[in-house]
Amino acid sequence: MDRVEGRIQAAKWPYFGVFQRNLLFAGLGMWIGAALPWALVLGKALWGAPMAASWVLWAGLITVAGGAVRWRNLAALSGFIGGVVAAYFALWQTTHIVQTCSLSIHCVPGPGVGLVLIGGIVAIVNSYRLYRRGSE
């Protein structure tokens, strides 16, 4: 809170700048990615396993929480954990697709896996930057 003209002014979101805002967007990207197809096989869209999608939704939720909380270390930890979980499931799904059928025009990872992976990487990078900025 800052003092302005003798009155206390409440801090406005994002409390820690662009890195915290990016955590919010990364978490929303994970949610959208969990709802999109995770694989495209012979022109058919396949969604992720229900438990994998549940874990990715949880990762998105904890990352969004990191984007909203007022404590820097908690925001960084929350975004980092959510990002690692999302990136793990995206990489796991991609390797499973590659092992099941070699990458070709008929068998490719879907847009959901890509969005989950991008959201996970963005969350990890911004959490690290948020943490490092707090220790300066």
What three-state secondary structure class fits 4? strand
Which residues span the domain enclosing 85? 23-134
15 located within any domain: no
3 located within any domain: no
Q: Per-residue confidence of the chain (136 residues) as pLDDT tens digits?
A: 555 566 766 678 778 889 999 999 999 999 999 999 999 888 889 888 889 999 999 999 999 999 999 999 999 999 999 999 999 999 999 998 888 887 788 888 899 999 999 999 999 999 999 999 865 4
Q: How many domains does the chain have?
A: 1
pTM recorded for the entire structure? 0.86
Q: Tokens 């925001």 — which residue?
A: 75
71 located within any domain: yes
Q: What is the dihedral of CA 35, 118, 95, 42, to 10 degrees?
A: 50
